[in-house]
Amino acid sequence: MTGLTRLSAAEMATLLRDGEVSSVELTQAHLNRIEAVDGAVHAFLQTLPKVALAEAKAADAARAAGEDLPELAGVPIAVKDVLATKGLKTTCGSKILANWIPAYDATVVRKLREARLPVLGKTNMDEFAMGSSTEHSAYGPTHNPWDLERIPGGSGGGSAAAVAAFEAPLALGSDTGGSIRQPAAVTGTVGAKPTYGQVSRYGLVAMASSLDQVGPVARNVLDTALLHALIGGHDPKDMTSLNEPVPPVADAARQGLAGDVKGMRVGIVQELGGRGYQPGVEDRFHEALEVLRHLGAEIETVSCPSFRFALPAYYLIMPSEASSNLARFDAMRYGIRVEPDAGPVTVESVMGATREAGFGPEVKRRVILGTYALSAGYYDAYYGNALKVRTLIQRDFENAWEDVDVLVSPTSPTTAFKLGEKLDDPLAMYLADVATIPSNLAGIPGLSVPCGLAPDGLPVGFQILAPARADAFLYRVGGALEAVLEDQWGGPLLDRAPALPVATEGADQ
């Protein structure tokens, strides 16, 4: 059967359930696609053909035996290389973990295995999830399938690019300041950051523990919701895990796809637009708003004045937590060990040599920033004040929820920029996440859905934010928007992406 890789995950699940295709066939089709195009895209750091096919075979056997399987059983998936995988190398995009093979699975990976989703491989990422372009990977950048000279977003550009290039129907990412949503926006995919604590962080290599959140990446809203529902739920191994059921996100997606958003109150965030936002991005955003208005949603403008301080607050809180979390990579407990070229071999000299060789420049920059912000005499002035700003941002959200059900904005202020364009300007790079950071500081859920192409021919993302635990609102609004826009486009936005160069003949397109 040809064209398997272009089906949605829900369509694949239906074919599997009806016996029209096997998981082995689906998995092999995606492995063929990866072999064909990933030389150009570099979405994967490693693929796992033998493991994936064995898991697919087990899924087929379980179905043949009449086991009651989850809806997505047998559908292959890619996993960001920040999540621990038992017996399989996990590098976090860093040289310092080049040879780490975890002895355990992250909880979300365990859930994938229990639900019998074959894992195709581990995807590329900015080192330790620090970046907005996947150019800070120690193993080379990932390329945007829409234009191979442009970035796929970050830090989870590998997962988004794999989905956009039809190398995987589903992927897992992590979102600390937009690392799922911003890549989704610039690759024309869908990405969600669940409510903080709704998906377990056990086995996620931490960058900033109060901000990190695992979430789904897919090509449409329903697939994203189905994966969200699968990976969510309480985990006693994660002390920040919410002890409550996952909201009915898949039902909400289906409700939205039926056009049911009448009466929903949608707030445009006044501070997330205007100066610095690409005109084509704002044009597509406002056109999408008109779609929601036509469907019966009530649109109003909301002011969140503290959002203008979100970026500087984030770049004090996140590096502070990162410098603490990365202190474990000291050549004594975790990671590689490098001895100094000259002088005595001491704990300090080995630690210094190891970190110099093992960490890339962006990680070093953020560790230095964080260590400085936490140092004696500066803690209150920097980290302490950043925490106060975080509280003000949370209050802005609380005030907004009194008037609206969801808040919306462009996901990213621009479309994908060219590889190398912002590497020498960290502030310009950081500004790529200006619209996504506030939700991480507040712990609320967010979703990015495609809303069209800018005049440069590149995808634009539409961000939806909801109150904590109200993740279902995201999928209801996102589903409604997707249904109308895809009808206008004559199909999914990704159908309009240029063909990728193919390295092998006979690959499933």
Point out the residues that are catalytic.
80, 155, 179
Q: Hey, is 194 helix, strand or coil?
A: coil
Do the Cβ atoms of 224 and 475 come closer than 8 Å? yes
DSSP secondary structure letter of residue 492? -
DSSP conformation letters of 123-161: E--SGGG--SSS-S-TT----BTTBTTB---SSSHHHHH
Helix axes 23-41, 49-64, angle to 10 degrees: 160
CA distance 23 to 216: 20
Helix (H) or strand (E) holding 428: helix 426-430
**DSSP codes, 236-303:** TT-TT--SSPPP-HHHHHHHHHTT--TT-EEEEETTSSSTTS-HHHHHHHHHHHHHHHHTT-EEEEE-
Among 225, 299, 214, 215, which residue's Cα sits nearest to residue 257? 225
**Cα–Cα distance between 471 and 488 in angstroms, integer?**
26
Instruction: Please tell me the chain's helix, strand, coil percentages from 3-state DSSP, rounded to the nearest 5.
Output: 45, 15, 45
Please tell me the number of Cα atoms within 13 Å of 2 on its side-chain side: 3
Of 83, 92, 89, give the one whose Cα is nearest residue 113: 83
In sequence order, which residues have a C-beta less than 8 Å from that of residue 350 and are 6 or more positions away? 331, 332, 337, 338, 339, 340
DSSP letters for 307-367: GGGHHHHHHHHHHHHHHHHGGG-SSSSSS-----SSS---HHHHHHHHHHHHS-HHHHHHH
Tokens coding 495: 């159908």
For residue 190, the tally of other CB atoms under 10 A from its CB is: 29
Residues 6+ apart with CB under 8 A from 64: none
Give yes or no for a contact between 135 and 152, defined as CB atoms under 8 angstroms apart: no
Element (H, E) at 443: none
